[in-house]
Structure 1
Amino acid sequence: MRKRLRWLVAAAAAVVAAGTVLPGTAVAESNGGVRVMPLGDSITEGTQVPGGYRIGLWQRVTAGGYQVDFVGSQSNGPATLGDHDHEGHPGWRIDQLDANIVSWLRATTPHTVLLHIGTNDVLQNYDVARAPARLSGLIDHITATAPDAEVFVAQIIPIANAGQDATARTFNAAIPGIVQSNQNAGKHVHLVDMHSAITTTDLVDGVHPTAAGYDKMAATWFTALKAVPGSIGTPGQSAARQIVGAQSGRCADVPGSANGTAVQLQDCAGATWTPTGKQLTAFGSKCLDASGQGTADGTPVIIWDCGGQANQQWTVNADGTITGVQSGRCLDATGQGTASGTKLILWTCNGQANQKWALRAAS
């Protein structure tokens, strides 16, 4: 078992050193909900069970009527995981997350952070005596960059090797004090006892949970989140959103529900849009659509019966743009127009304000 664990750690470290992005680039599956960043190593990524605890957490959150948007630069997991974005990096230690955390937070602006990190510090025997200090420094960088964020810090799950688990327990014992110190300073930091959530019988390879083990982690995260008001929003809150132009202050609207109706700017009192996967739907079954599956500059944006085609799929980006999956072009107010009736089209992304939008909860 030790030989296998050493091989897994070495392989993951080699990939990280080579600069390979694991396991895939995020696809920004925003549903307009509370932005939650799952942050950590392979246990967050879901090694052995792609998606890991995020599958069960997503299912619990949505079944509970909450609206959340998982965020991060990575993406993986099955179809049963409705939002695949995360910040889980196999083989990474605390210091490696810390080296990147500020840029990740600035790119995704999460309201809630789920932090489970330290396992690889133990497995790699990487200056474990100072691991709590490194964790404290990482939390400091998170709270300084996102001072209003709710930060949930987990004590790491068990490790099958008894010696390594003893080291993990020593590391875990320091975490309540770190969390309390942050709370005393008025920071939104919360302790999650993840070590007690599962046992070594829930591990598939001595390090990573089985599907059942990951689901136990999901239940523990969900209980912790529900205990902090606002960390995942309000249950039953509508998913409907207005798409508001940054330049015009007006909303993407349609004057009727017929197929082919042009999407245009109007005062924000009309149609709302419900993010469903990568589709934006209005009137229950009509999708935001690039007319005729067009991909060229100037292609009209309309509504049409939802069919799942790529011209009806959109990416809501952290920079405020909304891009067509098929075309790669931006949702654009024609001619930088701001008046009511200005038609929306596809256009090459250029960073101008008429291509910037905000998804705002419908009033």
Structure 2
Amino acid sequence: MSAGKRLLTLVLGAVTVLALLVAVRATAAQAESNGGVRVMPLGDSITEGTQVPGGYRIGLWQRLAAARYTVDFVGTQFNGPGSLGDHDHQGHPGWRIDQIDANVTGWLRTHNPRTVLLHIGTNDILQNYNVSTAPQRLSALIDRITATVPNADVLVATIIPLSSAGQAAAARTFNAAIPDIVWSKVSAGKRVHLVDMYSKLTTADLIDGIHPTAGGYDKMAAAWYAALQSIPGSIGQPNTTPSPTPSPSPSTTSSIRGVGSNRCVDVAGVSQANGARAQIWDCNGQANQRWTATSASELRVYGNKCLDVNGGSTADGAAVIIWDCNGQNNQKWRFNADGTITAVGAGKCLDVPNYSTANGVPLQIWSCNGAANQRWTRT
């Protein structure tokens, strides 16, 4: 084979691998759509979560889930840890206002968000890109968003502080223009809202002078959450049914029997390995069927392994396994008054696929429907 043909083969192979990776990434992102109120986190690396993958979206998701809001983060990007129940977003590290503006129409048409969380302008300052006209570019971007999704609430945040003295001054000047921009949109009848993010953080909350620490991102999450709660409809209404019952005390250990199958939640093969599947099996009282409900909302087996939604997924059909207990939301479960057991991080129910009653059927999570294959009793 000639050198040219070998090079062409390598290039085609690399393109194929890249296409497969993109397809896998897209599938993962699409799989996290849960039918909830669509919220698009929009911006730059601070939305993406540089330094702390997932950024403010982690704390915001956790607050929404704890209050039983059903929200679907949307966007073409995807990242974050298992404690973030929905990894989709529209954050682009290094991007300026004009770059977001050039692409936002397509993103909005694809995802049709009910609510947009906009934090942008930091890179205009960091790159010293026509800083004096950055407010005008922000105004034009807001107009493009409201024209494309006129029924969406658009929350516009002032940008967080910067450590460099010169850049900090430019950020303050940029932020000072934002309230009048927002007010002009409100006066024109547009659903635009101001979020004062700048005052919520200090430079002590920055890990590198630009991006927040985990604690700083959580302060941003709290600010977004408070703003969303103040805007009717922006995140829908909390799901109040079925009513939860208090979790058992830390010492409560029992078998968990399926109402539909009359079989118990069981670790396949009495395995203690991370990733071992949870299944239903004839109730026998052995250690792999004895579950301890803790005050941290865990379901522990063998003392140190927790019932876990694989990969922190929120998708229907996600596998239920055991894993070393780590306190993340995909290991938290809530017993409900109707006998269902909710995976807290996903907002979905422990489910026996296809109403099966056979030994060895692996468990999954699925949208809650109250059917017998989702109801359980502790014995």
Q: What is the TM-score when the length of structure 2 is the normalising length?
A: 0.60
Map residues 149-298 of structure 1 onto 2, 5 A cutoff: 149-237=152-240, 277-279=314-316, 284=340, 287=351
Contact 1:203 1:213 (C-alpha < 8 Å) held by counterparts: yes
Instruction: Tell me the CA shift for residue 31 of structure 1.
Output: 2.0
Contact 1:257 1:286 (C-alpha < 8 Å) held by counterparts: no
Paired residue for 2:112?
Answer: 109
Does 2:71 align with 1:68?
yes
Contact 2:352 2:363 (C-alpha < 8 Å) held by counterparts: no
From the superposition, tell whether residues 192 and 304 of structure 1 become closer, same or farther in structure 2 (CA, over 3 Å).
farther
Instruction: Tell me the CA shift for residue 116 of structure 1.
Output: 0.1
After TM superposition, what 4+ stretches of structure 1 lie above 6 angstroms from structure 2? Answer: none
> Larger Cα Rg: Structure 1 or Structure 2?
2
Paired residue for 1:137?
Answer: 140
63-72 vs 48-57, greater mean Cα deviation: 63-72
Map residues 68-107 of structure 1 onto 2, 5 A cutoff: 68-107=71-110
DSSP 3-state at the match of 1:279: coil
Q: Give ranges in structure 2 of 5+ residues lacking alignment.
A: 1-20, 243-258, 263-312, 319-338, 341-348, 368-379
Query: 2: distance between equivalents of 1:257 and 1:229?
Result: 40
Q: Deviations over 1:153-184 (max 9, x none)?
A: 00000000011010011111110011000000
Query: 2: distance between equivalents of 1:108 and 1:304?
Result: 35
Would you say how many aligned residue pairs link Structure 1 and Structure 2?
Answer: 247
Q: 2:125 aligns with which of 116, 122, 125?
A: 122
Instruction: Tell me the CA shift for residue 307 of structure 1.
Output: 3.8
Bigger helix fraction = 2
From the superposition, tell whether residues 205 and 147 of structure 1 become closer, same or farther in structure 2 (CA, over 3 Å).
same
**Quick one: which amino acid aligns to residue 201 of structure 2?**
I
Paired residue for 1:27?
Answer: 29
Instruction: Tell me the CA shift for residue 235 of structure 1.
Output: 1.8
DSSP 3-state at the match of 1:39: strand
Q: Deviations over 1:62-107 (max 9, x none)?
A: 1112110000000100000000000000000001101110100011
Instruction: Tell me the CA shift for residue 257 of structure 1.
Output: 5.8
Query: 2: distance between equivalents of 1:55 and 1:234?
Result: 20
Q: Deviations over 1:20-44 (max 9, x none)?
A: 99xx656121222110000000000
Paired residue for 1:349?
Answer: none
Query: 2: distance between equivalents of 1:67 and 1:102?
Result: 25
**Quick one: which amino acid aligns to residue 53 of structure 1?**
Y
From the superposition, tell whether residues 27 and 169 of structure 1 become closer, same or farther in structure 2 (CA, over 3 Å).
same
Q: What is the TM-score when the length of structure 1 is the normalising length?
A: 0.63
From the superposition, tell whether residues 171 and 35 of structure 1 become closer, same or farther in structure 2 (CA, over 3 Å).
same
Query: 1: distance between equivalents of 2:74 and 2:53?
Result: 16
Query: 1: distance between equivalents of 2:109 and 2:240?
Result: 26
Q: Deviations over 1:306-357 (max 9, x none)?
A: 8467xx899xxxxxxxxxxxxxxxxxxxxxxxxxxxxxxxxxxxxxxxxxxx
Does 2:60 align with 1:57?
yes
Query: 2: distance between equivalents of 1:71 and 1:308?
Result: 27
